[in-house]
Amino acid sequence: MSGMEIERKFLVRGDDYKRQARSSSRIKQGYIASGHGRTVRVRLRDDKAYLTIKGPSLDGGLSRYEFEKEITVDEALSLLRLCEPGIIDKTRYLVDCGNHTFEVDEFYGDNEGLVMAEVELSAPDEPYEKPDFIGGEVTGDHRFYNSHLRQNPYKKWKDEL
């Protein structure tokens, strides 16, 4: 898959998303390179693995170019050894709402207590329904980027919110 990724990110209130989820999966991911808004990520999701390259955002974090390719689990395990320090560990819940699916991530480790949702859109101004568990929007706030959370985890700054 490649093309423009357009998404909005939100904090999540409560845990109703778990009851509403149609599925969940465990994700572990590392970053081979990250900086200047660009990332090269390796992800293990249940029994599948992916290599993803993302470009910088030119519109405040709402959209950016993304290239993703499925790789073998063995390749991912080898590539994870090359990653920068800090692995992201989370469970992703898929929650349908209206015509969209919200991906809700519950983080573990140094990011324990952080729960975020994102919804992918086909256009920046595409209308969408919000589930009742959606809190404040954090689209474009670099503190909530996974590549940032690995080096500056939630536990260090959560009291500032």
Active-site amino acid positions:
31
Closest Cα partner for 28 from 15, 16, 41? 41
Which residue carries 């949702």 as its tokens?
A: 117
How far apart, in whole angstroms, are the C-alpha atoms of residue 145 and residue 140?
A: 8
Residue 113 region by backbone torsions, left for phi larger than 0, else alpha for psi between -120 and 50, else beta: left
How far apart, in whole angstroms, are the C-alpha atoms of residue 131 and residue 79?
A: 36
Report residue 36: phi and psi, to 5°.
55, 35
Contact 41, 52 (CB under 8 A): yes
3-state secondary structure of 149: helix
How far apart, in whole angstroms, are the C-alpha atoms of residue 34 and residue 94?
A: 26
